[in-house]
Amino acid sequence: MSKVAIIVASDFEDSEFKIPYDKLKQAGHTVVVVGTKRGEKVEGKGKKESTSVELATADAKAADFDALVIPGGYSPDHLRIDAAAVAFVKGFIGTGKTIAAVCHGPQLLIEADAVRGKTLTSFASVKTDLKNAGANWVDQEVAKDGQLVTSRTPADLEAFSKAILESLASKTNGATESARA
């Protein structure tokens, strides 16, 4: 099974953290909550969910994970000003490892310069930011472009979570097949 980082700061979109987290755990993956300060309790913007940061962004390395999930809400905007968080995201770029972002999550991808020439979706208010950063924005429940998996809103979370799980399964199967060759 895979080891997945979910990067959050305060005011994340409650369901955009909880649903992918639960789906990944139910599928047997190890999920690690990454944030700016280890041990810090962060709360969703709707105050329905909270979690504790298990690994600080300053100590997080992309090499230790198979995938990254970026929930939306105000969290990505808080994280994009943290140099260690941006460096962590940049560490995934070009590795082929899944980077999944929903709603406002692509704001962190913009800061990490990961969207130029890519087709992505997001919450409508992030559309112009993505276009200005060189992305091709589409209005669909899930957009996949290489290692990037993006989605628009909480209404798309089932499809988003399914796309993440499919991406992880294809990487696992590919690694198994490569090992046999």
Where are any strands of DSSP class E within the chain?
3-7, 30-35, 41-43, 50-52, 55-56, 67-70, 98-102, 119-120, 136-137, 142-145, 148-151
Place of tokens 């988003």: 160
Burial of 61 per CB tally in 10 Å (0-12, 13-18, 19+): exposed
Dig out the tokens for 38 from the structure.
Answer: 């280890």
Q: Which of 103, 115, 142, 143 is catalytic?
A: 103
User: 20 an active-site residue?
Assistant: no
Dig out the tokens for 68 from the structure.
Answer: 């990254």
Cβ proximity of 21 and 49 under 8 Å: no
Which 8-state DSSP code applies to residue 55? E
Active site residues: 103
